[in-house]
Amino acid sequence: MFSLAFSPCPNDTFIFDALINKKIDTKGLDFEVHLEDVQTLNQWALQEQHDFTKISYGVLPLVLNNYKVLESGGALGKGVGPLLITNSELGSTNYEVQNKKYEVQSTKYEVRGTKYDNGANNKLQTPNEQQETRNSKQQTPNNKPQTTNEQNKIVAIPGENTTAHLLFSLAYPNAKNKVFMPFHEIEDFVLNNENALGVIIHENRFTYQEKGLYLVKDLGTYWEETFNLPIPLGAIVAHNRIQKEMSLLVDELIRESIDYAFKHYPFVSDYVKQHAQEMEEEVMRKHIDLYVNNFSLALGSAGKKSVLKLLEIYQQQHPTCQIISNEIFINN
């Protein structure tokens, strides 16, 4: 029996339902299933806990010594990236906070605030926007030295070793005041802290506006416009302790499981509903439509190119990290 870990989100349960509930021929294989949030899955991968597991591509560089990426089961695509949100319709231009401690309910995370400036200059800027600002300043006489403001924001991010964090850091490299928490707690954190921003993922991108939150920047669109590649969000990886032939078989079974699910779609199985908490069925389908696609069936050359680009960026941000390109994918 192999251990298999993935998230309870509809895209993952949709992908694995037929496999773990034996709706397809599993070739005699059985799986011990573990469902957890993405940051916990990343931590488990760092600890080498499971034979097959879902991870964020953001943590992939740290586990490549022990895992290889399978061809199927992952999440890539266009228009699927994380969103940076705020609780103010004015965006990130009007934040002010006193010296106080911010605590996230029911977690151990906290941020200690300092004094924050408000006004239009308090806006998070991407590198391109920073260059435009510098150019405009050069055209204005008697400019005084300006400092960046990204460090003046509390930014809630769904896990340190996540793709969401990597994409945020790519767009806002000077942002320093970050707090990491489970993705489902970020909206409440932003709502309850006047100066906070949040990076949201999964089904929250469909519901944040209903809670009175506003979009600052689509981090996925930023990636797509910068590199013209699909966004690599999550992968299924196999531990190197598993024989390659067996990992390839599991890879094929995951693909068959997805095929089965698509053949019965838009029907949403009880297994998907069971783990979707109180999510409406329409939101489940939106989630599946967005995150399960041809890249889930097979990475292909475009998907692999996107993964390699993400690893290249990670290596630029972490120069001591050594990545060997021919040891990343199971089917090299």
The pTM of this model reads 0.76
For residue 90, what pLDDT is reported? 56
Axis-axis angle for helices 10-20, 244-263 (nearest 10): 110
User: Residue ranges of the domains in the chain?
Assistant: 2-78+231-327, 83-227
Query: What residues contact 164, with CB distance under 8 A and at least 6 apart?
Result: 56, 58, 82, 157, 158, 199, 201, 219
For residue 125, what pLDDT is reported? 44
The Cα–Cα gap between 184 and 200 comes to 8
Q: For 231-272, write each residue's pLDDT tens digit.
A: 999 999 999 999 999 999 999 999 999 999 999 999 999 999
Superfamily per CATH, domain 2-78+231-327: Periplasmic binding protein-like II (3.40.190.10)
- The mean predicted confidence, pLDDT, of the chain is 82
Task: Show the DSSP H helices in 139-280 as ranges.
Answer: 163-171, 186-192, 204-207, 219-227, 244-263, 270-275
The Cα–Cα gap between 109 and 23 comes to 41
Q: For 104-120, write each residue's pLDDT tens digit.
A: 333 333 333 322 232 33
CATH number of 83-227: 3.40.190.10
In order along its 332 residues, the chain shows pLDDT tens digits of: 999 999 999 999 999 999 999 999 999 999 999 999 888 999 999 999 999 999 999 999 999 999 999 999 999 988 888 999 998 865 544 332 222 233 333 333 333 332 223 233 334 444 454 444 444 333 333 332 222 344 567 999 998 888 899 999 999 988 889 999 988 899 999 999 888 899 998 878 888 888 899 999 999 999 999 999 999 999 999 999 999 999 999 999 999 999 999 999 999 999 999 998 778 899 899 989 989 999 999 999 999 999 999 999 998 888 888 887 778 999 86
For residue 332, what pLDDT is reported? 67
For residue 151, what pLDDT is reported? 52
Q: CA–CA distance from 289 to each of 192, 265, 268 (Å)?
A: 31, 10, 12
Residues with catalytic function: 202
Q: Where does residue 79 fall: left (phi above 0), alpha (psi -120 to 50 degrees), or beta otherwise?
A: left
Instruction: Give yes or no on whether 2-78+231-327 and 83-227 have one common fold.
Output: yes
What is the four-CA torsion angle of 298, 301, 306, 312, rounded to 10 degrees? 130
DSSP secondary structure code for residue 3 in this structure:
E
Determine how β-strand 110-112 pairs with β-strand 101-103: antiparallel
